[in-house]
Structure 1
């Protein structure tokens, strides 16, 4: 049992149970340690069963009984078939606790499955410890500050709260552009002037939020690029650099078109806009080869009409400006009157501008309608001219109709022969062209099938590469975790000693099995021999009894021998029965001795003392509660 207890203690320590180094066997377990071990195991096996259970015993006896009943019910729900109740935890004995802990340890998830399902590495160990701390804190009920114990005052004490604010961070690795070497000035700036990440946010509490935001953005960008490359990039049959450059060129062209469109004046505006000259440099920076005059000169028919209209009447505009200047008030007027008059004139000008804009829009619509009607008239005139020309030629041919008919018939026959000849020549050219077209089409389809097959193979290879990279990353993390665990293990442990001990245990078990098999075989042989001797004795007695009984009818001395024979047989039967009863009594004695040892191991006396103490404590609690009720 010593080796079994060591294995149990090692497994309980892996679940997070605080088993002291002085505890070397299950018989040294206290009630508090038993409750903690069972709760930790239940939380690892099934979090729903162990989430509402506390790993520590409360001070009150009634609460202890409730905790014991809850643990017993949870173990029964998990499938434990042995006898279990509150007494198993409060008044424990060694065999019951050992069997219960063995059942729970067997129910624990295997390390291999856990390692495959969870990420490995130092980060995984940190996450496990964080999750354990959070679960431990969540399992403790919340209490008001006035009712908290010292432990709860530490864990439930409100600390400083910070809102989640993120700031843009400047990271050296995020500034790298694929296929472009960083400049020396940039490298000097990063090395000498770029502050560290912890100093870039305005508040130190915003550093985790900023890092999380930066990492989430980079991760989403990488995932979007991977999805776009797998869906569109592979179909384009370009390298990633060429695909990026083509995408950048398309974006630049769209921006240039948008800016070029924005420079064109709208119908409801007057005069020449100055925005075109402001956007000239910007267009040239995007690779545009046009100058400001070219940009502004290119436009719709309305823009040319508008420009022509407003350039044809400069004298009229000058007269309006002179009228406005003449209508301005003199210098001796007050500033308020000047401002009011200017506002009125501005309103009048705005109204006149709106009227002119409305007239221009109506004129533009009418010009469009007239141009459409003109196009329709030109088409109808062209059709009529064609029909008139045909009719005129027909009328010119009417005076010499017979000769013209003969000529027309000869022309038709010549045309028919020429058409037949051309058709024959076309067929001669068409047959090899069709064969060539079919051959090229088949070759093209074969190439498309081959390219699609290769594309699917490339996608499968990409998936396999990604899966292999993920598996390699997991295995590398697992390797790092195993290295960390190996380094954390005690160095004075000798593997060969444990191996020898395991081999010795296996050898002892094998010897015990051989001895048990030998004893069983000897017992079977003895039982066969006893059965054969008993049968032989019965048969011998039956034959002897029959022979002696025949002679006893004739001779008195033989009659006495018969009586002695019967008495001897009866005495031998009683002796055999006595020997069997002695063996049965010896077995019962051994069973009773084992039961006595078992009862001694159950610590009955100490449990009775604990029960009496708990009974006194319950009576005292009941008396206190009764006194409180009377006072109330």
Structure 2
């Protein structure tokens, strides 16, 4: 308890001793901070030992000389503090400033070096990719030029054969592209459905965003319909272009005019022939009707006579049976002759049509288009004549 009281409330002599001890420690630490190397360490150790010894001596002397004046101690304390503060501040400032500057310079140098290295590597990678792309393009162009030269200087095969092969390759690529498009559509639709469900779940609590999402869906549907129509029209255009290339060259307008003139010139003769054929047909029909009527009357008379005789004896009955069977057979023969004649006429007509189709390539759409063009041209000429 006594020691605690002396520590909390020291006497004047004890405070002077403590101040003197602290000042000497400060001076020793400042002198040790200016030294370096193993010699400095040894000197520091020696000075520590000396300082400890001096402190002990001071303590003993302080114990022996309690009547030391207050002014002397204060002057000595001021001198020691001035001597010790200046080197301590300078050494610590130099040390901290030099280490901080070195660390900052080192960090900046390392960062700038890494950044410049990454930049150079990226530029080198970009240049290598550009060179590879250019090289591949040039190689493809060289292969195409070689193939074109081989086709041009090929004596054994004609250019048309090579064109057919190229068209086949184009068709195969187009078919492959269509398959890839269908596969992409099969993958795209579930992804879009998932996207729409996620959008609906995200924007479910906001009516404004729901309205925007609905408008966006409408626009997307309209865009899809427009793209579908465009693709359909492009397919139709490609198909019509190929059909147009396959079609033979159209005849001149003069040839159509000559054909129309020839038809109009032969029309009176054809009408006369048609009238003659109709007249002959009517005469033959009248003759056939008269013969059939005579035959029916003759059959009715014979049938009545044989029927009367059949009532008298068995021979008459047998004759009547033979007459009816003959009548039926002749009726069947007549029907078969008429059917055969009709079939023969139809066969002749079909043979004529086949011969006409074989002699010239008949295209109904082409003929209809030509007829419409001729009609428009005639209307235009009539209008010009009326204006004149």
| Structure number with higher helix proportion | 2
Query: Based on CA coordinates, which of the two structures has the bigger radius of gyration?
Result: 2
Calculate the TM-score normalised by the size of structure 2: 0.27
